[in-house]
Amino acid sequence: MDLTYTAEEEEFRAHLTEWLARTLPGLPPRPDPLDWPGRRVYDTGWQRRLYDAGYAGLHWPVDAGGRGATPTQHLIFLEETEKAGAPYVGANFVGLLHAGPTIASEGTPEQRARWLPPVLKGEAVWCQGFSEPGAGSDLASLRTRAWRDGDDYVVSGSKVWTSHAEVADWCELLVRTRPVSEAVPKHRGITWLAMPMDAPGVTVRPLRTLAGSTEFAEVFLDEVRVPVSHRVGAENDGWRVTMVTLSHERGAAFVGEVVACRRVLGDLAREARANGRWGDAVLRRRLGRLSAEFTALWRLTQWNVSEAQRSGGVPGAGGSVFKLRYSHARQELYDAAAEVLGAGALDLGHEWTMDRLSSLSYTIAAGTSQIQRNIVAERILGLPKGR
Amino acid sequence: MDFHLTDDQEALRKGTRAILAGRFSPREAMDAPGRLDRDLWRALGDAGFFALALDEAAGGVGLGLPEAVLAFEEAGRALLPGPAVATFLAAGRVPGAAEGTAVVTAVDGVLVPWLAEADTVRGDAAEAVPLRSVDPLTPLHRVPGAGRRASAEAVLLTAAEQLGSAGRTCEMAVKYAREREQFGRPIGAFQAVKHLCAQMLVRTETARAAVYAAALTRDETETAGAKLLADDAATRNAGDCLQVHGGMGFTWEAEVHLHLKRAWVRAELGRTAAEAEETLAEAL
Ligand SMILES: Cc1cc2nc3c(=O)[nH]c(=O)nc-3n(C[C@H](O)[C@H](O)[C@H](O)COP(=O)(O)OP(=O)(O)OC[C@H]3O[C@@H](n4cnc5c(N)ncnc54)[C@H](O)[C@@H]3O)c2cc1C
């Protein structure tokens, strides 16, 4: 049990914070959240700076163009960039945390050479075309069809809740290549494809979220031709490939956010002391409890990272435990913020009000809390599967 | 950074579990409630339990707070009765404490556990009056006034016991959910039961990270947070474990109520939730 960092890790941290201090003042102003093209330029511009400084794909394997950093170094990177107020991965999220790592572990050498460098350099934005109107939690029941025609797959169907679809160049797409039958269970006929978003037959219709912005979209696919060479993994083996993607999704995705939540909590206490709410013991104690919660979540992150370090970088099932606790804690944090603000919490102009709205998606996106509990109960505790 | 247990720590945990399992059963302790088993106390002393963190020069084992936390996690898991935290902290200061030949208790808040059985009391218990303790395995006295504030180490070790209890009731619930059948299948196949168990694990693992980290940082605020989360995990897990056991969970015979009652007692020891939350808020 040791929470101290090695001299090497501290040196890595020192270089990074020094680079951040030098680089952040030169960043352009942040774009309006509703300006998607502007956000793409901003997010990919940041990625390019990371690339030039040698920080792109830190945790990716070296032979995939990454730096082969340890999980601990990646943790330090996420912690320090957040502390310094650096931009978040934003539009690079799917490329860096889902599609990229999947291609790195499952793609052919040609596929890696083609798709990974543009992600690292901030030249390509990816989106995730998994969910469908009829397939959310039950992802394996997806119905978007693909059939072979010469060297192409022809794809028809529709996807939904596709984040960043408006500005993406590529989509990691799950399609059905073999119909479900008595002999073929639903997760045995799925294939993972890389689809160019500018291919003829792709229509993106932005969806407005409850926060008012268009964070995600519907994607309609009408006989879209995708070359067979764009398939990652074997035909009908896409479910296994998908599981690789999802384990990465639940791995390190929230480290920076936990750091940010701890900062917000400090800001809440300051605000409450300033506006007189601090005299309310119920509120004060609520904030005290949240402080314990987020400190523990940070420690749980270090615990999970230590586990990943021991197992050679594979994110464990601990990710589900973390996501369950974190997504609820985050919602409680912004409910407490609303208590601190009082009527001010009804003002959309307040950052915490917007964050309160967006935090509502945390118990839904990337596997709902109910699905995470199924995972914890069945895969960690070994309880029987059931409906 | 490697937050996980070293091989030695893993061995210590296993060893402590084996000693406790070999020497003690809550069911037997229930036959003589209110009496402390001195043989057990001495056996723990012989095994080095109370001298774990005492310097080797003073005849101790020379380990640190993280190891003590692992040992007390096992004590909590096993429902070990007796003022183990106070005796442990008295090792090297009160003769016989390290060896388990003396039983040492302490005034903790307004409570004094095991007063009648103790050889030494830390703090002023002159005006203590007995309670009819809710926990059959923890006799309690109460002192008038504001009481005595427990040390940060006492708080953390109590939190470690809570953690052990939380882990144990989670295991008990899972085991029962796999065995007990209703409607032609194990009750653990029902999602309502499954999700209770999942939340129990989430509480345990979050409390574990908090308690272990506080043992390493020895930070007062972090310790208060660890106690808060461990109390929450122990009391709520015991409640959920009871629910999973159905009518069996409501019996005197099942072990569940002992975990719940002890968790209630420990929640009042060290730091109460209100005290911990105020400490945490103060530091924000
Ligand atoms: C902000 C946001 C961004 C997203 N981005 C993307 C993206 O980029 N790409 C993508 O592919 N998807 C994305 N999603 C989709 C997300 O993965 C799904 O919303 C999620 O998996 C749930 O599916 P669903 O919405 O169809 O809900 P449903 O599956 O219909 O669930 C509805 C309710 O039923 C419950 N439920 C369902 N099945 C069970 C069960 N077996 N046991 C118990 N309860 C159950 C759920 O927990 C939920 O409460 C995003 C979602 C959000 C909110």
Cα dihedral across residues B217, B220, B221, B227: positive or negative: positive
Confidence of residue A316 (pLDDT cuts 50, 70, 90): low
- Decide: A364 in ligand 1 pocket, CB within 6 A: yes
In a domain, A111, yes or no: no
**Per residue in A44-55, pLDDT tens?**
999 999 999 999
Whether A373 and A315 map to the same domain: the answer is yes
3-state secondary structure of B120: strand
In this complex, do B198 and A374 lie within 8 Å of one another by their Cβ atoms? yes
Q: How far is the CA of A197 from the centre of ligand 1 (A)?
A: 23
Asked which of A311-315, A320-324, B216-220 is least confident by mean pLDDT, the reply is A311-315
How many distinct structural domains can be found in chain A?
3
- Decide: A131 in ligand 1 pocket, CB within 6 A: yes
3-state secondary structure of B77: helix
Torsion of CA A361, A365, A368, A372, to 10 degrees: -120
**Strands (E) located in A164-292:** 170-176, 190-196, 202-207, 216-227, 231-232
Residue A292, Cβ density class (10 Å: 0-12 exposed, 13-18 middle, ≥19 buried): buried
Whether A23 and A57 map to the same domain: the answer is yes
3-state secondary structure of B186: strand
Q: Which fold has domain B152-283?
A: Butyryl-CoA Dehydrogenase, subunit A; domain 3 (1.20.140)
**Which of A78, A381, A385, A387 to probe the B interface (max B CBs under 10 A)?**
A381
Write the CB contacts of A150 (distance below 8 Å, at least 6 apart in sequence): none
* CATH architecture of structural domain B7-142: Orthogonal Bundle (1.10)
CB atoms within 10 A of CB A29: 7
| Residue nearest atom 52 in ligand 1 by C-alpha distance | A365
Index of the ligand 1 atom closest to the CA of residue A129: 11
Q: How far is the CA of B48 from the centre of ligand 1 (A)?
A: 52
**Which structural domain range is residue A159 located in?**
127-235
Interface check B209 vs A, CB under 8 A: yes
3-state secondary structure of A249: helix
Q: At what angle do helices B191-217 and A318-341 cross, to 10 degrees?
A: 80
- Decide: A163 in ligand 1 pocket, CB within 6 A: yes
Question: Which of A265, A288, A310 is opposite residue B278, by nearest beta carbon?
Answer: A288
Per-residue pLDDT at A387 exceeds 70: no
CATH number at residue A284: 1.20.140.10
In a domain, A385, yes or no: no
Q: Which residues pair with B182 in a beta bridge?
A: B185
Q: Tell me which chain B residues have a C-beta less than 8 angstroms from the C-beta of A289.
A: 228, 277, 280
The pLDDT of A261-272, averaged and rounded, is: 97
Whether A171 and A289 map to the same domain: the answer is no
Asked which of A239-243, A282-286, B101-105 is least confident by mean pLDDT, the reply is A239-243
According to the model, what pLDDT value does residue A242 have? Answer: 87
Q: DSSP code of A66?
A: S
In this complex, do B1 and A382 lie within 8 Å of one another by their Cβ atoms? no
Q: Tell me which chain A residues have a C-beta less than 8 angstroms from the C-beta of B216.
A: 1-3
Do the beta carbons of residue A188 and residue A121 sit within 8 Å?
Answer: no
A to B CB pairs, distance under 8 Å? 167
According to the model, what pLDDT value does residue B163 have? Answer: 98
Whether A285 and A372 map to the same domain: the answer is yes
According to the model, what pLDDT value does residue A251 have? Answer: 59
- Decide: A141 in ligand 1 pocket, CB within 6 A: no
Question: Which of B186, B189, B274 is opposite residue A285, by nearest beta carbon?
Answer: B274
In this complex, do A296 and B209 lie within 8 Å of one another by their Cβ atoms? yes
In angstroms, the Cα distances linking A21 to A8, A71, A316, B246 are 20, 23, 34, 59
In a domain, A121, yes or no: no
Q: DSSP code of A28?
A: P
- Decide: A373 in ligand 1 pocket, CB within 6 A: no
Q: How far is B158 from chain A (nearest CA, A)?
A: 17
* A11 included as an active-site residue: no
| Predicted structure pTM score | 0.95
Per-residue pLDDT at A312 exceeds 80: no
Q: How far is A15 from chain B (nearest CA, A)?
A: 18
CATH number at residue A189: 2.40.110.10
**Which of B206, B217, B227 to probe the A interface (max A CBs under 10 A)?**
B206
Q: Which amino acid is at B37?
A: D
Per-residue pLDDT at A357 exceeds 60: yes
In a domain, A387, yes or no: no
- Decide: A137 in ligand 1 pocket, CB within 6 A: yes
Complex ipTM above 0.90? yes
| Residue nearest atom 29 in ligand 1 by C-alpha distance | A137
CATH number at residue A45: 1.10.540.10
**Per residue in B94-104, pLDDT tens?**
999 999 999 99
According to the model, what pLDDT value does residue B29 have? Answer: 85
Do the beta carbons of residue A202 and residue A168 sit within 8 Å?
Answer: no
Do the beta carbons of residue A151 and residue A227 sit within 8 Å?
Answer: yes
- Decide: A162 in ligand 1 pocket, CB within 6 A: yes
Cα three-residue angle B277-A352-A217, rounded to 5 degrees: 125
**Strands (E) located in chain B:** 104-106, 111-113, 120-122, 129-130, 140-142, 181-182, 185-186
According to the model, what pLDDT value does residue B145 have? Answer: 87
The pLDDT of A185-206, averaged and rounded, is: 97
Phi, psi of B93, deg, nearest 5: -115, -40
Do the beta carbons of residue A80 and residue A314 sit within 8 Å?
Answer: no
Cα dihedral across residues A76, A79, A82, A83: positive or negative: negative
Per-residue pLDDT at A213 exceeds 90: no
Given the residues A80, A106, A215, A249, the one annotated as active site: A249
| Distance of alpha carbon A292 from alpha carbon A234, whole angstroms | 46
In a domain, A360, yes or no: yes
According to the model, what pLDDT value does residue B32 have? Answer: 85
CB atoms within 10 A of CB A210: 9
Do the beta carbons of residue A9 and residue A76 sit within 8 Å?
Answer: yes
Question: Which of A299, A307, A386 is opposite residue B213, by nearest beta carbon?
Answer: A299
Q: How far is B165 from chain A (nearest CA, A)?
A: 17
Mean pLDDT over the full length of chain A: 94
Domain spans in chain B, listed from the N-terminal domain onward: 7-142, 152-283
| Distance of alpha carbon B52 from alpha carbon B13, whole angstroms | 12
The pLDDT of A51-69, averaged and rounded, is: 92
Do the beta carbons of residue A229 and residue A51 sit within 8 Å?
Answer: no
According to the model, what pLDDT value does residue A307 have? Answer: 87
According to the model, what pLDDT value does residue A14 have? Answer: 98
CB atoms within 10 A of CB B15: 15
Q: How far is the CA of A191 from the centre of ligand 1 (A)?
A: 20
Q: Tell me which chain A residues have a C-beta less than 8 angstroms from the C-beta of B221.
A: 291
Residue ranges for chain B with pLDDT beneath 50: none
According to the model, what pLDDT value does residue B256 have? Answer: 97
For B277, which residue in chain A has the nearest alpha carbon? A288
Do the beta carbons of residue A245 and residue A98 sit within 8 Å?
Answer: yes
- Decide: A130 in ligand 1 pocket, CB within 6 A: yes
The pLDDT of A258-270, averaged and rounded, is: 96
In this complex, do B226 and A292 lie within 8 Å of one another by their Cβ atoms? yes
According to the model, what pLDDT value does residue B36 have? Answer: 94
In a domain, A183, yes or no: yes
Q: Which amino acid is at A236?
A: N
Tokens 């940060």: give the residue: B152
- Decide: A140 in ligand 1 pocket, CB within 6 A: no
Q: Which residues pair with A103 in a beta bridge?
A: none
In this complex, do B201 and A321 lie within 8 Å of one another by their Cβ atoms? yes
Do the beta carbons of residue A120 and residue A51 sit within 8 Å?
Answer: yes
Q: Tell me which chain A residues have a C-beta less than 8 angstroms from the C-beta of B224.
A: 292
Whether A58 and A30 map to the same domain: the answer is yes
Question: Which of A4, A265, A387 is opposite residue B1, by nearest beta carbon?
Answer: A4
Question: Which of B2, B191, B202 is opposite residue A306, by nearest beta carbon?
Answer: B2
In this complex, do A2 and B1 lie within 8 Å of one another by their Cβ atoms? yes
In a domain, A113, yes or no: no
Tokens 């890790």: give the residue: A9
Q: How far is the CA of B234 from the centre of ligand 1 (A)?
A: 32
